[in-house]
Amino acid sequence: MSAQTVRLMGFDVDGVFTDGTLYYGPEGDQLKVFNILDGLGLKLLQKAGIRTAIITGRRSPMVELRFNELGVDFIIQGREDKGVALTELATTLSLEKRDLGYMGDDFPDLSAARASGFFASVPNAPETVQDQAAYVTQAIGGQGAVREVCEFILRAQGLDPLAIFQGDLDA
């Protein structure tokens, strides 16, 4: 599994962009906390021409809001069959398995791991999930793990994240 050929990178949300904690208010309202480092990581991938996708089993207006704000290409919510969702995207975009990456943290993400050419996870994921990963971050979910994976992918493709940020894609 190689990050060198990733052209579409998909991500789970809870446990990857967040620490997996669910916050409920007295009226049943939910809150999610996102790390700003992760948002810039997505922007770096996008500037490098790598498309981004969110594929999550839960539905949340905060997910829609945050990832629309970040310009994520595909926001797919309420899909437990993440591997099927990723494969459907690949078909729509005429991409092959080697072109697909996914980052997840738990058993529901394993189907996407099998459907992708590159799978990343977090250190607090179950051992079975970590064993399937080509890359396990140092950072836990919600604490910059996504940014770490984004920079790993860019470097694997011979790109400098700082140069991308500064607008120099030739560096």
Q: Determine, yes or no, domain membership for 171.
A: no
- For residue range 99-148, list pLDDT tens digits in order: 999 999 999 999 999 999 999 999 999 999 999 999 999 999 999 999 99
- Number of domains observed in the structure of the chain: 1
Please give the single-letter amino acid code of residue 147: R
Q: Determine, yes or no, domain membership for 116.
A: yes
Q: Determine, yes or no, domain membership for 170.
A: no
Could you list the beta-strand ranges (E) of the chain. Answer: 8-11, 23-24, 30-31, 51-56, 74-77, 100-103, 118-121, 135-136
Domain at 17, CATH number: 3.40.50.1000
Q: Give the mean model confidence (pLDDT) for residues 5-18.
A: 97
Residue 171 has pLDDT above 50, yes or no: no
Q: How far apart are CA 144 and CA 157, in angstroms?
A: 20
**Token couple for 36:** 């700003």
Model confidence, pTM: 0.94
Q: Would the CA dihedral through 137, 14, 126, 10 be positive or negative?
A: negative
Which residue segment(s) compose the domain that 84 sits in?
3-165
